[in-house]
Structure formats: structure tokens, C-alpha cells
Structure 1
Amino acid sequence: MKDERLDKMNQEYHEIFIPAELRQRVETGIREAKKDMETERQTTIERKKKPMKKKNNKMITFAKTVGGAAAAALIAITVMANSGASIAHAMAKIPVIGAIAEVVTFREYQDSTNQMYADVKVPEVEVKNEDGTVNQESTNAINQSIQEYTDEIIAQYQADVEAADGQGYQAVDLDYQVITDSDRLFSIRFDKLVVMASGEETVKIYHIDKQTGKMINLSGIFKKGTNFIDPITANIKEQMKEQMAADENVTYWLDSDIPEWDFKSITADTTFYINEEGRLVIVFDEGEVAPMSMGSVEFVIPTEVIQDIVQDGFVQ
């Protein structure tokens, strides 16, 4: 039965009519996008090796992305997914095994006013119950949060354009990616870059606990009543000291001459994600715990630090 369904889906897919010109543009765009993704991957590796150059690499990546082949391919795929009923229907029938949360579509806000530019991608997430039905409460909750977040970014950009009266220089880029899709956790990450005289990086990550179907923050991955803040904070401070001792170009706000700037502690709402190795990663925005020149910074927390207090299924 499964083989028959797959054969039928394959037949329907190949019967879908796509204009030759559009197909060629999409395929060309995808090939170029893959090249851009590989370039960005290599850039990311080098950036992690050289923390002080992180911001500049990010700006270069942004400059390459705006108006590039990757964006063209993405827009073309958006048109395919949202304009053609037969195409959208076929895409919707592709099975997603073992997942109860996924990005089902997205829209894109773009504007170019003189020397000011914005590209804001707004995904829509669908959360499903174990029986495959849509969990409308959780779906509405995460999409409303995403909508409010992206609306605020767009509104700020529009206000800046109006205030500049055509004389400003600004680029706003907001992109997203699903960074965790495990048996227990679904996480979608937003990276925002605002470039004016300099650049500013911020990170926003939304999480859904697949066991409950609910949105969670950092506290949601730990056992109730346990103290996760102190051990994670202590480990981050230890990593900060080790990095500063190993590289004079690395600086964190820790035991500095301006105590009010020093990093004190994480909170229950501190940004985090679980990486591909199943490790907890704590994320700080640019300027939050280090000089702006270091960009956003991340700390991988060893599993042994939290293994007795984290809930099953989140980390390895």
C-alpha cells in the first residue's frame, strides 16, 4: 500500500506543469544557492576560529546575499509553493515522518527606498498532535509570536525610512532556519542583521516541546524545581576566562573595570538551542556580554554540567 501511494505521488509530481523558463530559473538559482550556502558554511567555520572578525564576515555574507542567486531561488520557490494549487497540493502530500511541527510556508517583506533596504522573511509554523490533526492553540501561539516579532522589525524599518526622508543608509536582513528537529524538540531560529554605519546582530529562537506540543523557554528543558541557572552561569564564566587567557583579542564583560557591565547570570529566558551533536548552546546578542566587535557569541555547555537536571530527550 505504501509503495502504491509513493508511486502515485511520484506520478502526480511529474505531471505538474511548470513553465520551462521558471524551471530553468529555479534550478539555476538552487545551484547558485548551494554554492552560496557552502561559502557561508566555510565563512562560519573561519569566523568561529577568529572571533574578532565575526562581524565583518557576517556583513560580507549579507552583502553577497542581498539581490543574489540564493534570494532569487528562494523567491521563485515561494511563488511555486503559494501560487500553483496543484504544486502546493503535491508538496503538502510529502510525508513528514516523526515530526509534529514544521514550517509550512512563508511570506517575504521587501523594500528598497533610495539607500535603505529591507528583506524580512516571515515563516508560518504548523504544530500537529500525535494523531496528525493540527494543534490549533500551539500553532496560533507560535505564529502570533513570530508575527509580532517580525511586525516590530518592519515597523521600525519603515519609521527609519520616514525619519531619514530619503537620505539614510540602512540595510535590514531577517532570515530564519529550523535548527533543531529532534524527537523531543523543534526550534526555529531568526538571525537579524541591521547595517548602518556599523552592523548589529541579534538572535531570536522559538522552541516547541514535541512531547507537549507547547512553546517553551530555557527553563522548559529542565526538571521542575531544579537549579539550572547557577551551573550554566558558572560554566559560561569559566569558558569566558579560558578564551580570554588563550586569545588576547577576545574580551568579555567579566571582572572588568565597569562592574555594572559585567555578565552576572543567565535567566530562564536566555536564548538557547540544541546543536547537531545534542549539546545545549547558550546565545548572547551582540554587545550583551562582550564588545560589539565580537558580534553575537555562543557557548556550548558540556552535557555533564546539566545531565542530572535536564529532562530526557533534549540533550545527549
Structure 2
Amino acid sequence: MTQQAAAASRYAESLRLSVAPMMDWTDRHCRVFHRLLAPTARLYTEMVHANAVIHGDRERLLGFDPVEQPLALQLGGSEPTLLAQAARIAQDWGYDEVNLNCGCPSDRVQAGRFGACLMREPALVADCVAAMVAAVDIPVTVKCRLGVDEDNDYEVFASFVDRQAEAGAGMVVVHARNAWLKGLSPKENREVPPLRHDWAYRLKQERPALPVVLNGGLASVEAVQAQDGKVDGVMLGRAAYHDPYLLHRLDTLQAGSPLQSRQDLLRALRPYVEAHLASGAALKHITRHILGLFHGQPGGRAFRQILSEGAHRPGADWALLEQALVVTVREGDRAAA
């Protein structure tokens, strides 16, 4: 196998399970924790606008720990030249993929002419994709919805995807809902518009050479396993965040690796936490991402409460997490008795 073929194989394998880019959530602390949980999954940054990449604080916006890789930078924007420049910067920083956001429905995104409203400008999106593809050697991909507002035509959706594939997009992530640009909040846009997984299935069936990853409504092992053979991979959003052990269960099933306990996974994070604290940063910036580790388990509420109440206090350190673990395990043992 050539070096290029091996790289392509690793890339395809990492698409089988990924964690969605989520604003205010998938920062570098979240991604390090998710990498411990899911060594083979592909991780994505929060969306960063191309202008911010070019003119902003790159260490703050783009910095990451090498353990996070394979890692993709999600870009927002609609100016081909600026997106190409931002993609080059991303490649120089060591990212493995650049993903263009064509799915975010927030008012701020609409006002800037990017995100979900780009679904109605397929030619412009194709120009953006082509410019990025010409600028970098790493894969350029697109994350989109099925349509906007009352759009209800599969052929229009498929045509949008085709334009991006023709422009050089190496993969498409389909959030299998419409985006409602008026009347629904971003949170409601993740829950209210009906899911149509069948559109993603049909897209893959009709375009077998195009990698298709499904996003939306996947919140259990059974729901993810039901996608086998229908798409190339699945992308978890809030489910991976609110129930992170689900991510670990899925990764071990796909990789054939042994399941680790929640306690062992958390303790594996200790060196990162202590390095973070040694830099003068606060514990709360990390613990907010691990509150759901014992989701649905006896003691899970106590775990969340101890961290929520204690992590923001001056001097909070690893001892707080050990305290939370002791209480959680004790309650779990009581429940089992």
C-alpha cells in the first residue's frame, strides 16, 4: 500500500465515528477528554470564522494538543479567497481536515451570510470549496442540512451535494434535518425539524463513491449500529457531550478494544488537568466537559453536584475529582447492594 493509500485508509476509518463541532462546547479541553474516551474517532473544533483565523489570536483559536488528532477545523464564511487563506493556515497548524459549515442556523451566522443560509447558494459554496481544495493538500469537507425552512425537495438537496463533490469536497456530513432560519432557536433547530435519515441513505446509495456521514438523532448504541451499511460513518453531537461514556462504548465496539471503567478513563485525564492547573488556569474550564461521565448511573447526580459546586473555587485541584469519584462509587455500591 502506498503512503497516500494508507493515509486515505486511515482517514476513511476515522470517519466511522466522529464528534460534531459544537459552539461553546468542543474546545481543546473537551477534545482531549473525548480523545481519551474514543482513540479512533475524528474530532472537530468549534466553528471559527475565516476572518478570525486570519486576523485573530491563532493560539487561542487554533491551538490544540497533538493527542487530539485526527482533528478537523470547522470554518465559517462565504468568501472563497478568505476561506482558502484560512484553510492554508489550518494546514500549517497541523489540522487533518478543513470542514465548511453550511448548517448553523443562528441569527448571527445568517447576518454574516454563512452557515445554513448557504444551502440556497450552491454555486457560491462550490466556489468556496474549490478555492480551499486548490489551497491545501488535506481533505476539504462540507457539513450541511437537508434544506432551509420549507425546502422539501430531495433532488435540490442532492444537487447541492453534487456541486460540492464536483468542486472537490472529499466528504459530506449530513445533519438530516432542515434548518429553520426564522422562528426557531439554534437549540430548537437541533430538535424540532423532523429527522429524515432516509435522505442520507439514498444519497449514499446513489453516490457510492462519495463518503457520507450521518448526523442527527443518534443517541444510543442501537441507533448508531442501525446505520451500518447505510452510510460511511456517524457523527454524534449533544449525545457525546451529555453522555460521554456512550462515545467510549461506541469506539470500543468499532475498534474491538476493551471497555474501560469511567473511573479509569477519568484518572487518565489527570496529567492533562494538572498541567492545565500548573499553567495558572482554572479547573472549571475542564470539569464542565466531564459532568456527564456518570450519566444514568447511581451517584451520577452527586458527581455533577460536587464538581459544579467546587470547580470554580480558588485552589480547586485534582483532589476535587477524587472526592467526586469516591462519593459516586460509594453510591453505586449502595445501589448494587
- Fold shared, TM-score > 0.5 on shorter chain: no
Greater Rg, structure 1 or structure 2? 1
Question: TM (normalized to structure 2)?
Answer: 0.30
The structure richer in helix per residue is: 2
Question: TM (normalized to structure 1)?
Answer: 0.32
The structure richer in strand per residue is: 1
